[in-house]
Structure 1
């Protein structure tokens, strides 16, 4: 008879969860079980509430990690054990709404100028030019470059959806230069093993190095280039609808966050303090 862990993994696979999500959910349930030193099948609502509250009160995990724990336990008890999950008794914690950091166009250019390795430049420029997630850039194939229609094909992205994004003239130029020098075969950006794509961690490291050389001290990551793509497009007048499609967002609510990041309209707003001097006294 399969173990509870094997049953949960089977259920996760059956519902099409990504390998990363499967691993995270299984790890969460394992941590929960170890905390009490019992099989999770012997634990219930009281233990779940106490454990989630402990994580919140001790701040040993981020709000995002706690929400992942909540989702994992909910999946385990509802799907694997077939129990009823009492949403009122076990409420999901609210995650603080924080705006992502963005870089100015000059700062983005500074990062690219700091890169001397043609492969590194091609990767980071492609992420910014097309608004890619780091995993999407890592898994690009040479065949995904459609220079005829000037678009990039992103295969099986988040939510297992294919989509197309922009292939800018400058992006195509740097990719052609990179291809002439490195001659990638299947994977556009292969790792040490040419038969495997570059790891996302490697891309993160090259961004951190470029950021340091460029003298940028903001708390930003390689994913920030995706935020910059959306914000800079919005500032240039691109509609939020088109940006949503390019980013591959299912809900417009996710894309609307960039409305709070753009400075285009704010620059034209005059403070009421400045208007005081316009008042003419008799």
Structure 2
């Protein structure tokens, strides 16, 4: 049958994704497998990752990392931890290096060369159609590993690195933002989503806010040790402050501004994502909105209201002004002043 299958992770669970052109017979056939599920967002069927299913779809056994590879990976992780890299960065870099060392499990680590990195890029990353950002992460991780653990320098110019995709940030209109923020009936849910938009927060920044980070007298929010291990302050909306006061009286959080069911335990990322999903179901917005869209919208709306780009950079916590400048490409303020020649026909 004309299909392709590969291993994936769906909601943290190993699965087998099956790809094929739309065919009623194939759809009915895949449905005969126990646990077969259609992913509307990814546009593929996926099945339980079992030995029988792997054999049926001719998926080769997963390579196992050698003992030497395990030791090298652990050394790399310890170095990253000692340098105080964030947990997310450590996981990303460690996973990237693990996939590389697993690919070369048949060679000793000391035998791996610059040419092996090029071969890995072509035979693993490109053939599996991984994203350019993932490819760059892999190369960055391998480069850092060679430099710090192997004390060798890779000739990066010889390694194929893709041009970064120039993807514009997704932005919602103020009307759409209003629909989203007014949709939740639960006050905590409303307050969390409103905080992200009104302060331009990242998801992790919201969840790491403590009660002491809200300075009502000065009208600011202190965001501690965010991306790049930097502290910054952002203005606190009067409307948000009033909402938080009502929220505090009702929920009485102890340590974190937003806590889960157990007092003193911060709200989980998974639950926050679920809040947005439930909220979107109550609106008529069909766009694949993520929490980060609220941050993008905050920045774009500030720009459209006349806020200087340098201030927006500070408010968002960007290291480079080039990162912030991308919002000039999605702002409609200047576009609205341009008249299409079509209107004169």
Give the TM-score of the pair, scaled to structure 2.
0.76
CA distance in 2, matches of 1:102, 1:54: 36
1:14 aligns with 2:82: yes
Question: What residue number does 2:158 align with?
Answer: 89
CA deviations over 1:160-185 (Å, ceiling 9, x no partner): 00000121011111111110100001
CA distance in 2, matches of 1:75, 1:272: 53
Question: What residue number does 1:280 align with?
Answer: none
Contact 2:259 2:266 in 1 (8 A): yes
CA distance in 2, matches of 1:82, 1:194: 47
1:77 aligns with 2:151: no
Query: Structure 1 residue 15: deviation in Å?
Result: 2.6
- Equivalent of 1:29, from 97, 103, 124? 97
Cα RMSD for the two superposed structures: 1.7
Contact 1:55 1:66 in 2 (8 A): no
Question: What residue number does 1:108 align with?
Answer: 177
- Equivalent of 1:153, from 222, 226, 235? 222
List runs of 5+ in structure 2 lacking aligned partners. 1-67
SS across alignment from 2:88: helix
Question: What residue number does 1:178 align with?
Answer: 247
Contact 1:112 1:125 in 2 (8 A): yes
SS across alignment from 2:291: coil
Question: What residue number does 1:117 align with?
Answer: 186
CA distance in 1, matches of 2:135, 2:290: 22
1:68 aligns with 2:137: yes
CA distance in 2, matches of 1:52, 1:101: 30
Equivalences for residues 1-282 of structure 1 within 5 A? 3-38=71-106, 39-274=108-343, 276=344
CA deviations over 1:45-100 (Å, ceiling 9, x no partner): 12211111234432442222221111111111111101111011114221211102
SS across alignment from 2:139: helix
Give the TM-score of the pair, scaled to structure 1.
0.93
Contact 1:101 1:219 in 2 (8 A): no
Query: Structure 1 residue 194: deviation in Å?
Result: 2.2
Structure that is richer in strand per residue: 2
Query: Structure 1 residue 246: deviation in Å?
Result: 0.5
Residues paired across the two proteins, number:
276
Query: Structure 1 residue 201: deviation in Å?
Result: 2.0
Which stretch shows the higher mean deviation, 209-218 or 115-124? 209-218
Instruction: State the structure with bigger RCO (CA 8 A, min sep 6), 1 or 2.
Output: 1
Question: What residue number does 2:31 align with?
Answer: none
Structure that is richer in helix per residue: 1
